[in-house]
Amino acid sequence: MDKMKISGKALELQRKIDQVRDAWRAQLAKPSVPGGESPWYSIRVFEDPDLAVVELPEGLYAYPYTLEEDGCTFDEPYEVEFSIQRKGEDKSWCANGTRYSEDPDAEDIIAFGGEIKALGDGRVGGYLVRFGNKDEKDLEGEFFTAKTYYGPADGDGADTLVHHGLPLPHDTDDAELVLELEDLARKILAPLKTKRDALGVWGETILDMADKYEKLIHEMVEKGKLKWSSRSVSSLVRKKVSGEITRWPIVEGSFTPFPAEFRGTQIMPLKSYLKTLAEPAPTTGGAEAGASGLEMAKAKARTLQIISRLKQMEV
Domain boundaries, the chain: 2-79, 102-312
Distance in angstroms (rounded) separating the CA atoms of residues 159 and 69 = 44
Tell me, what's the pLDDT at 119?
96
Q: Which residues pair with 55 in a beta bridge?
A: 42, 60
Distance in angstroms (rounded) separating the CA atoms of residues 312 and 304 = 13
190 Cβ contact list (under 8 Å, min separation 6): 160, 205, 206, 207, 208
CA distances from 313 to 215, 307, 308 (A): 11, 10, 9
Tell me, what's the pLDDT at 34?
61
Tens digit of each residue's pLDDT (9 = 90 or more) over 10-56: 456 667 888 888 889 888 876 655 666 666 677 878 776 788 888 77
> Global pTM?
0.61
Residues in the chain, pLDDT under 70: 1-14, 30-40, 48, 57, 81-107, 139-140, 170-172, 259-265, 276, 278-305, 307-315
Q: Are 245 and 142 in contact (CB under 8 A)?
A: yes
Tell me, what's the pLDDT at 89?
41
Half-sphere exposure of 173 (CA within 13 A, CB side): 0
Tell me, what's the pLDDT at 1?
33
Tell me, what's the pLDDT at 139?
63
Distance in angstroms (rounded) separating the CA atoms of residues 259 and 302 = 11
